[in-house]
Amino acid sequence: MHDDLYLALRQCIIDGDPEQAIELCQRALAAGIAALDAINEGLVPGLNHVGEQFAQGEMFLPDLVMAGEAMKAATAILEPAMQKAGARRETLGKVVLGTVQGDIHEIGKTLVGTMLSASGFEVHDLGVDVPFETFAVKARELNADVVGVSALLTTTMTGQKNVVEALERHGLRPRVKIVVGGAPVTRSWGEEIGADGYGEDALAAVALAKTLLGK
C-alpha cells in the first residue's frame, strides 16, 4: 500500500539527498505511516544497499557520507514522531563515541555514529579532542556497552591505548567493549593495546558492535 513511499525513502538514502529525505519523511508521516516503519522498511534497506555497494567497490566514501547525511536528516524528522507515539526502537546497546584527545577529525566518527544509530544502537557522541578520562567517566555514567575511539593521526593513535587504560582504571573492563578505528589504525594495533575489536570503516564498526554484544 505504501510501497512507493518506502521505495522512494530507500532511494533518497542511496542518492544521499537530505532535502528529499526530509520531504519524504514528512509525506510518510502525513500518509499515516508509523515512523518506525519508515525507518525499517524504507531508510534502513537504503543504507544497507549503500553498504553492500561500498563493500563491493561500486560506491565510495563520499557516497557513504552522503547516505549518512540523508539518514541523519530523515531520523531528525522521524524521532519526534516516534517519541510522541511512544514507539521505542529496540536498542541494541549503548555506545559512547569520540575522537581522541589531540585529534579533531570529525567525519569518520560521525559516520560511524550515524550508521550505529541507524542500525538501532543508542549513540552518545562526545565529539572530537576528547580527554582519555572522559571516555571512561561517560561510559560509567551511561552504563555503556561499547566505547568507540577514533584516531586519524599516527601521533594520536597512542591515545587509544590511554583510553583502554582509563577504562581499566575505572573498573569497566572487560564488561565495556572497546572498539578502535581510524586511517592509521590496524587490527594488530587494536590487539596490542587490548581493545576488543577494530573497525576498518563505519559498516565494519556496526557489524563488530553487534558481534561483541552477541546480537
Task: Find all residues with CB under 8 Å of 40, minimum gap 6, and list them.
Answer: none
pLDDT tens-digit series, residues 69-112: 898 899 889 888 887 777 666 789 999 999 999 998 887 788 78
Of 5, 49, 45, 11, which is closest to residue 27 (Cα–Cα)?
Answer: 5
Cα–Cα distance measured from residue 96 to residue 112, given in angstroms and rounded to the nearest whole number: 11
Average pLDDT over all residues of the chain: 91
DSSP one-letter code for 151: -
Strand partners, 123: 95
Of 14, 19, 22, 54, which is closest to residue 38 (Cα–Cα)?
Answer: 22
pTM confidence score: 0.73
pLDDT for 42 beyond 90: yes
Domains, in order of start, for the chain: 3-85 (1.10.1240.10), 94-212 (3.40.50.280)
Q: What value does the mean pLDDT take over residues 55-69?
A: 86
**Is the Cβ–Cβ distance between 89 and 120 less than 8 Å?**
yes
pLDDT tens-digit series, residues 128-168: 999 999 999 999 999 999 999 999 899 999 999 999 999 99
Cα–Cα distance measured from residue 142 to residue 127, given in angstroms and rounded to the nearest whole number: 16
